[in-house]
Chain A
């Protein structure tokens, strides 16, 4: 018996509604976040992520009210992210009941934020989300919802935020996100070999085999997806029994 691999539906939130951007552009509506979250809990999701996708772009402040509602209704851990740029933002979400927060662009702008949040609230509270894209054959960190490339090398950045106190990395490959062609196995594998903190793979899930591949070929402890779950293309109970048959330990 051992630690179970986590299946993590991600709910992108805009104006209190769940949306999913395909390659971060096209958006379809998939309903009320609290209702969807409760359905996922019943189906056996291991954790949930709520990302306020408008936050960074439009400078909107975080969605503490929705977070408060979610924490009353659901009884599994959840992470919230989007536009968190200060210890105060983090504190508001902690008080609202978030188990973890994820920071992305703000950490790139100000790496000390990673240290400040993890010192204040503990590493277990802080997920650093990394949007990875290929520029001239190199994996680079992207910010602002994947719209802007930076000079940062993805693996170097991951190592740095681990040293600064991140408790976990959420690695999204923008090359794979929305393609439904599978996770970024090679990049995820390089990252899990390099780090001692947990890494969640994200971007590209389109079939059950993609989940078994990422768990068998990398040390990722969780896999995140959105649309395949929202639109019922891969029911979570079916995914879990498939993974069990593949000898992958799941709850």
Chain B
């Protein structure tokens, strides 16, 4: 069973629909017990960092998420919340990844919205995916490149489009909205052994 973390962020339905298309059953839940029992956990979302962190903290979900041991995938805001700190309303985040989240400089078009590919990418998540394959991005804040980066993309500057530490994975783009190549990434994640 794949658990999808239920919280006050948008775009959750799209992830469930993508899992349905793959033929994988999912459960939308904020119950700590169900999250701990799941084979995989997906932490999706678009939205604003401080209100999302507040929501998680009020329910004790911040501690639950950090303590999970199964393969865990954060998407977009989900990945940003797994970082140390976000400059979006000066928010202390989960601190799973050491990197910080900053706003794109305004000398380009912001948000970064549309299809973009990779400067670099590696690891099981990207198996069978070329650096020239494009994924769909929508974000005004980016994760800086750091020790946990497993994929990087160029927009105004190079940023982390993928992160990994132990069982925790994050992607900045939306695999659930990135056509067949996005589906491949989700399938790669679902194949990762605990």
Residues of A within 8 A of B (CB): 1-6, 41, 46-47, 71-72, 75-77, 94-97, 99, 121-125, 167-168, 196-198, 219, 221-222, 251
Please tell me which stretch of B30-38, B56-64, B89-97, B177-185 contacts chain A, meaning at least 4 of its Cβ atoms lie within 8 angstroms of it.
Answer: B177-185
The interface residues of chain B lying within 8 Å CB-to-CB of A167 are 111, 113
User: Are B177 and A99 within 8 A (Cβ)?
Assistant: yes
Given contacts A76-B136, A95-B13, A124-B46, contact A3 B115 (CB under 8 A): yes
Please tell me which stretch of B14-22, B142-150, B164-172 contacts chain A, meaning at least 4 of its Cβ atoms lie within 8 angstroms of it.
Answer: B14-22
User: Are B114 and A4 within 8 A (Cβ)?
Assistant: yes
A251 CB to nearest chain B CB (Å) = 5
The interface residues of chain B lying within 8 Å CB-to-CB of A123 are 111, 140
Contact of A75 among B10, B11, B46, B177 (CB under 8 A): B177
Given contacts A71-B13, A77-B177, A97-B17, contact A125 B46 (CB under 8 A): yes
Residue in B11, B48, B113, B137 whose Cβ sees the most chain A Cβ within 10 Å: B113
> Is B106's CB within 8 Å of the partner chain A?
yes
Residues of B within 8 A of A (CB): 10-11, 13-14, 17-18, 20-21, 46-48, 106, 108-119, 132, 134, 136-140, 154-155, 174, 176-180, 182-183
Q: List the 4 shortest-distance A-B pairs measured between CB atoms, nearest first.
A: A4-B115, A97-B13, A251-B115, A251-B134
Interface of B, helix, strand, loop or mixed by DSSP: mixed
Identify the closest chain A residue to B48 (Cβ): A122
A20 CB to nearest chain B CB (Å) = 24
User: How many angstroms from the CA of A46 to the CA of B116 in the assembled complex?
Assistant: 11
User: Are A75 and B115 within 8 A (Cβ)?
Assistant: no
B140 CB to nearest chain A CB (Å) = 7
B164 CB to nearest chain A CB (Å) = 22
A148 CB to nearest chain B CB (Å) = 30
User: How many angstroms from the CA of A143 to the CA of B67 in the assembled complex?
Assistant: 52
The interface residues of chain B lying within 8 Å CB-to-CB of A75 are 18, 21, 176-180, 182-183
User: Are B177 and A121 within 8 A (Cβ)?
Assistant: no
The interface residues of chain B lying within 8 Å CB-to-CB of A221 are 109, 113-114
User: Are B177 and A1 within 8 A (Cβ)?
Assistant: no
